[in-house]
């Protein structure tokens, strides 16, 4: 029997230009939702019951209120958010999702827009992505599961995003796989490194400079427009421009990551388990805002989805100390700069190494397809703090032959 795994994807559709009356109702829904979100977040509510007490008086559907009850506690606990951005979409739980189809219409698919009050919901045509048409039909027929769906205004368009889940054949891990680790970061958006015979091989880097510049430019541009009391359509237009550009970067980076993995024989992609990623992450308000603005989960999800579609297994490991540990000897080293890792073990041949590649190599090495070593567990206090060897999935091995240092100069742009 072929094992199955669950793949996730986000379907995107643009609403057909609404009538004036319908657009006003969409705008009221967004405004009300964001007031409720801000009120709940600023109150410090961190449980579903606490959020429920705050959002109950708002004129929103139960689907939107239930989504808020799930989302607001996550903002602090999971995302460690200290402030809200202004572009939050309206979230609805899957109970409120309904679509219709007719090939006699110019726009064949229509979406039922949830509204507070009995009989107030209305239908609006959708312009779907043709490449996703088969999945829309699967959604209509109940062949895939719908998750949370979101409504957001981009520039002058209204956009609907629908999260779906569906079963695909689970790729089997090869007997002797090539482990390929990916490190997601601020300076280098994505760094990949394969390990063959325990040795880092042919590293890959997708630079984060363009995305980082876009985030900074978006923040300053939108702030300036707001200070000048610019028209809302102008603000929305600029915001949509930046968001589309950032989405393109995520899509390109995830596509290239899978193509990189496909260049190796019997690849297994190894990613960080994001449930750990914000533990003890505190670099001050400015850096936290920059780091938390990165869609870590989004990029990870896109790599996973595309890998599964390509038939490449994906595994997740604990990311603790991957950026501080020497991939060769396992000792805790030092980072003289964001891009530089130095091993402090005098007996190790590694002296200076590109820090992101070192982290990616550690991520790859932490996956053990044979299950012979002790896994990293967050509840255990086995983290090295004194320069002793890390508990990694690679276990004890004889040192590999000394190879050329992967220095900063080779990967500086």
pLDDT tens across the length of the chain (413 residues)? 557 777 788 899 999 999 999 999 999 999 999 999 999 999 988 899 999 999 999 999 999 999 999 999 888 775 556 667 667 899 999 999 999 999 999 999 999 999 999 999 999 999 998 888 999 999 999 989 999 999 998 777 899 999 998 888 778 888 889 999 999 876 788 999 999 888 888 999 998 788 778 878 887 888 888 888 888 777 777 777 777 788 888 889 999 999 999 999 999 999 988 655 444 444 444 444 444 445 567 788 889 888 988 899 999 988 777 888 888 888 888 776 667 888 888 888 877 788 888 889 999 988 876 654 433 333 333 333 333 333 333 333 333 334 444 544 444 44
Burial tier of 362 (Cβ tally within 10 Å: 0-12, 13-18, 19+) = buried
Q: Are 344 and 331 in contact (CB under 8 A)?
A: yes
Nearest-angstrom CA–CA distance, 41 and 123: 31
Question: Which of 87, 94, 95, 92 shows the shortest CA–CA distance to 38?
Answer: 87
Tell me if the domain spanning 178-366 has CATH number 3.40.50: no
The helix, strand and coil proportions of the chain, stated in percent and rounded to the nearest 5, come to: 35, 25, 40
CA distance 15 to 158: 5
Q: Say what the pLDDT of residue 95 is.
A: 94
> Domain boundaries in the chain?
4-169, 178-366
pLDDT at 292: 44
Q: Which of 400, 284, 326, 402 is nearest to 334 (CA)?
A: 326
How far is it, in rounded angstroms, from Cα 250 to Cα 302? 8
State how far the alpha carbon of 356 is from the alpha carbons of 83, 114, 192, 276, 363, in Å: 29, 45, 8, 18, 11
Number of other residues whose CB lies within 10 A of the CB of residue 83:
11
Looking at residue 136, its pLDDT comes to 95
Q: Is the dihedral of CA 326, 319, 367, 169 positive or negative?
A: negative
What the block records as the tokens of 217 is 């430019």
Task: Sort 241 into a burial class: Cβ within 10 Å, 0-12 / 13-18 / 19+.
Answer: middle
What is the pairing mode between strands 340-342 and 352-354?
Answer: antiparallel
């Amino acid at each position: 029997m072929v094992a199955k795994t669950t793949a996730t994807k986000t379907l995107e559709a643009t609403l057909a230009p609404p009538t004036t009356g319908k657009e006003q109702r969409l705008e009221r829904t967004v405004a009300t939702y964001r007031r409720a979100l801000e009120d709940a977040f600023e109150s410090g509510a961190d449980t579903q019951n606490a959020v429920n007490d705050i959002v109950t008086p708002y004129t929103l559907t139960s689907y939107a209120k239930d989504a808020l009850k799930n989302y607001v506690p996550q903002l602090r606990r999971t995302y460690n958010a200290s402030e809200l951005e202004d572009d939050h979409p309206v979230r609805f739980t899957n109970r409120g999702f309904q679509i219709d189809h007719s090939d006699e219409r110019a726009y064949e698919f229509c979406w039922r827009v949830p509204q507070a009050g009995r009989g107030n919901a209305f239908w609006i045509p959708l312009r779907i992505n043709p490449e996703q048409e088969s999945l829309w039909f699967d959604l209509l027929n109940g062949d895939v599961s719908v998750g949370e769906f979101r409504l957001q205004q981009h520039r002058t368009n209204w956009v609907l995003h629908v999260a779906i889940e569906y079963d695909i054949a689970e790729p089997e891990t090869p007997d002797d796989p090539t482990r390929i680790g990916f490190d997601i970061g601020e300076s280098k958006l994505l760094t990949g490194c394969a390990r063959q015979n325990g040795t880092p091989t042919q590293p890959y880097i997708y630079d984060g400079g363009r995305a980082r510049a876009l985030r900074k430019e978006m923040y300053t541009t939108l702030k300036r427009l707001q200070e000048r009391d610019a028209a809302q359509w102008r603000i929305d237009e600029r915001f949509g421009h930046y968001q589309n550009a950032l989405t393109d970067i995520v899509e390109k980076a995830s596509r290239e990551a899978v193509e990189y993995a496909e260049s190796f024989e019997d690849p297994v992609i190894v990613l960080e388990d994001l449930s750990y990623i914000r533990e003890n992450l505190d670099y001050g308000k400015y850096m936290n805002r920059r780091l938390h603005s990165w869609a870590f989960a989004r990029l990870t999800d896109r790599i996973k989805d595309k890998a599964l579609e390509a038939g490449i297994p994906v595994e997740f490991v604990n990311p603790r100390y991957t950026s501080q540990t020497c991939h060769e000897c396992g000792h805790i080293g030092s980072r003289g700069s964001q891009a530089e890792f130095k091993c402090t073990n005098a007996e190790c041949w590694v002296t200076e190494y590109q820090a992101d590649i070192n982290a990616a190599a550690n991520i790859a090495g932490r996956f053990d397809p044979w299950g012979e070593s002790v896994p990293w567990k967050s509840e255990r206090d086995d983290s090295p703090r004194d320069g002793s060897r890390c508990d990694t999935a690679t276990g004890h091995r004889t040192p590999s032959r000394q190879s050329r240092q992967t220095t900063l100069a080779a990967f500086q742009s």
